[in-house]
Amino acid sequence: MDYVPAISRWIHLLAGVMWIGLLYYFNFVQVAAMKAAAADNTAGGISKHVAPRALFYFRWASVVTWLAGASLLGANFGNAFLLRPSHAAIGLGAWLGTIMLLNVWGIIWPNQKRILGIVQATDEEKNKARRRAFLASRFNVMLSIPMLFLMAAGGHTAIFFGA
């Protein structure tokens, strides 16, 4: 067994499932649940007990996924990010994953800190933060669709691209 790429691939998949799984949980479940809970005054439980825990695993899983992916690319890191023909599919997938990671740490998390009261904010600032975090999260769901296609295609270009 070639330990580094094998273990990197395994960790990349484990952390990736956690990251994208929680991204889908936020978008497919929690957004609608918060709306319904706000209507009967039970949203406090979700924002106090569920969201902070989910966000913790979500943002750190994104880092582990990226690092394991970079380790998996190894010497081909440059070939992938420069979109060389031999690594075009995985390279474009890696670019999408990188944009998503920056989105998590640069937009989603700083705005979530305002929403959850970890950082002081006025009600108006909280409303703006809510909208920004929502759109950034939805943007990541949109990017995850081609990203996962390209990740699956990366090692199987003959099946996906006939090349």
Partner 1 sequence: MKNPLDSLWGTVISGVVLTVILFFVVKALIGG
* Interface residue list for partner 1 (CB under 8 A): 27-28, 83, 85, 88-89, 92, 135, 138-139, 141-146, 149-150, 153, 157, 160-163
- Measured from the CB atom, is 60 or 103 closer to partner 1? 103
Residue placing its CB nearer to partner 1 in the complex, 49 or 131: 131
CB of 27 to partner 1, least distance (A): 7
Shortest Å, Cβ 104 to partner 1:
16
C-beta of 71 vs 157, nearer to partner 1: 157
Shortest Å distance, C-beta 129 to partner 1:
16
CB of 108 to partner 1, least distance (A): 13
User: How many angstroms separate the most distant Cα atoms in the chain?
Assistant: 56
Other C-beta atoms closer than 10 Å to the C-beta of 2 total 7
Here the tokens at position 52 are 């902070």
Residue 86 makes CB contacts below 8 A (sequence gap 6+) with: 79
